Amino acid sequence: MVSLSAHIKEKRKKYGLSQVETAMRAGVGLRFIRDLEQGKQTLRMDKVNDVLALFGEALGPVKNDE
C-alpha cells in the first residue's frame, strides 16, 4: 500500500503542479503541503480532503492488512 504522502506527491507531479500551485488551488498553506508530503502524523482531515479533491479523490476507510 502506498502512503498518503507518496500518493499526494505522485499525483501532484503527474498533474505538473508545484507545491505552491497545489497549496493555492486547494486553499491550504504551503507549509501544510510540505508537511503532508513529508508524512507528518497529525494533519487536519478536512485539509487533506481539500488537497485530494484536486485529483477527484477523498479520504475514506480502508481495510487494514494486519
| Residue 58 counted as domain residue | no
Task: Assess contact for 37 and 8: CB atoms under 8 A.
Answer: yes
DSSP 15: T
| Residue 41 counted as domain residue | yes
pLDDT > 80? residue 66:
no
Query: Which pLDDT does position 1 carry in this prediction?
Result: 74
What is the number of structural domains in the chain?
1
pLDDT > 90? residue 64:
no
Query: Which pLDDT does position 42 carry in this prediction?
Result: 96
| Residue 64 counted as domain residue | no
**Residues found in the chain:** 66
Query: Which pLDDT does position 2 carry in this prediction?
Result: 85
Q: What is the pLDDT of residues 1-49, one digit of tens each?
A: 789 999 999 999 999 999 999 999 999 999 999 999 999 999 999 999 9
User: Domain range holding 17?
Assistant: 4-53
